[in-house]
Amino acid sequence: MVNPSSHLPFSLLLPLSTMVNPVNVIPRGATIQLLPVGSKNLNIVLNFNTAEQYSDNPGHFGETIGRVANRIKNALINDLDGRSWQLAKNNGENSLHGGVIGWGQKIWTGPTKVDYKEGTAYRYDLTSPNLDENFPGEVKASVIYRIKDEGLKRRIEVEYEAELVSGAEETCVNMTNHSYFNLNGDETIAGTVATLGTNLHLPMDATGIPIDESAAPYPKIFTNKPFTLTATEPNIDDCFVFPNSFAAPDKIPIDTRPLPLRTLGSFYHPDTKIHLKIESTEPAFQFYTGQWNMLDARPDGTPKRIPRSGFCVEPSRFVDAVNRPAWKNMVLLKKGEKYGSKNVYTVWEEQ
């Protein structure tokens, strides 16, 4: 992992706090590149050492994902704005993370400083044109990063907003952040203690699409009970849902920001004593232990990545919701409405 204090041109990075070792974001994908924690300033997100390398980012390291995060079955939206929409098949037969060139590979405008009395805040903006990756409608999207440092704890609030402005009467949106976390600075996440806020998940087929509109407890994982990630297991890449959200999916609003924060997961590594807590207003999250994460070393000095070099927690709506009648409203953005969500990452080193 790159040393946060190493020299990097300001034009490539956005220092999102006044700390000596700030959080850094780059314009491509409004992507989190550096999130240093603790007395050793360990960068706990997988990254590339220079912004240029993010133009080839197959693992979506740190990206803002859109227009629709996760998978859409058969890369086909069955019924939206009065017709079906064929998308690019970039994950087997499915569409993944917004298509071949999703929002994570777009150059966002910014940073624009935002008033925030408790710390430092900046906004990035993106205009996604009508038929961008064949999604209907022109959408204006934004992401705001608010950074607050309190003693040993650092709080990063990420707020998403999107609005359909022209080209269609309705579209679909599901945004998230795709950071991979590694709390120990080693080749793998072995030894990380994980606790999930729910063990209810959507059973998937072999391609990562829900088999139906049911949910079930995840095998051998229990709500709010810690378990340890090793160098090889458990291998997880599943969508976890909260029971009350699953019981009434039609009540999940397109803008979840007014809803209370819920803890998606808490993570800790005993070697570094670094903690990570992830909260969100979202009804679900994809938890991925990185078993397919492989990357050769890069010319900029970025090291080789091997399977399970980082884990992801992607706050979101339900997978393939746009094609499920009972779930569709949570991703259906109509003209005159706003999509919104909020995620909070709290990190600290135990003393």
195 lies in a domain? yes
| pLDDT tops 60 at residue 11 | no
What's the whole-number average pLDDT of the chain?
94
13 lies in a domain? no
Summarised one tens digit per residue, pLDDT across range 40-71 is 999 999 999 999 999 999 999 999 999 999 99
46 lies in a domain? yes
14 lies in a domain? no
3 lies in a domain? no
Mean pLDDT of the region 254-281: 98
pLDDT band at 281 (very low <50, low <70, confident <90, very high): very high
End-to-end CA distance of the chain: 23
Distances (CA, A) of 75 to 71, 93, 207, 291: 8, 7, 12, 24
Amino acid letter, 249 = P
Which residues, in sequence order, are CB contacts of 66 under 8 Å at separation 6+?
A: 98, 102, 103, 104, 128, 141, 162, 173, 174, 175
Summarised one tens digit per residue, pLDDT across range 156-204 is 999 999 999 999 999 999 999 999 999 999 999 999 999 999 999 999 9
Distances (CA, A) of 167 to 101, 136, 246, 335: 20, 7, 32, 10
**How open is the CA angle 45-51-23, to the nearest 5 degrees?**
40
Rounded distance, CA 194 to CA 187, Å? 18
pLDDT band at 9 (very low <50, low <70, confident <90, very high): very low
Q: What is the span of the domain harbouring residue 222?
A: 24-349
| pLDDT tops 80 at residue 277 | yes
Whether 114 and 63 have beta carbons less than 8 Å apart is answered as: no
Bridge partner residues of 153 (DSSP): 150, 348
Residues recognised as catalytic: 178
Looking at residue 299, what DSSP letter applies? T
Whole-number percent of the chain with pLDDT over 90: 93
Whether 178 and 200 have beta carbons less than 8 Å apart is answered as: no
> Residue 237 corresponds to which tokens in the numbers above?
């890449």
7 lies in a domain? no
- Sign, CA dihedral 74-107-147-337, equals negative
11 lies in a domain? no
Summarised one tens digit per residue, pLDDT across range 129-169 is 999 999 999 999 999 999 999 888 999 999 999 999 999 99
106 lies in a domain? yes
> Residue 178 corresponds to which tokens in the numbers above?
């795709």
Please tell me the total count of domains within the chain: 1
153: domain CATH number? 2.70.98.10
pLDDT at 150: 87
Whether 270 and 228 have beta carbons less than 8 Å apart is answered as: no
pLDDT at 13: 44
Distances (CA, A) of 308 to 40, 46, 196, 293: 22, 11, 18, 6
| pLDDT tops 90 at residue 8 | no
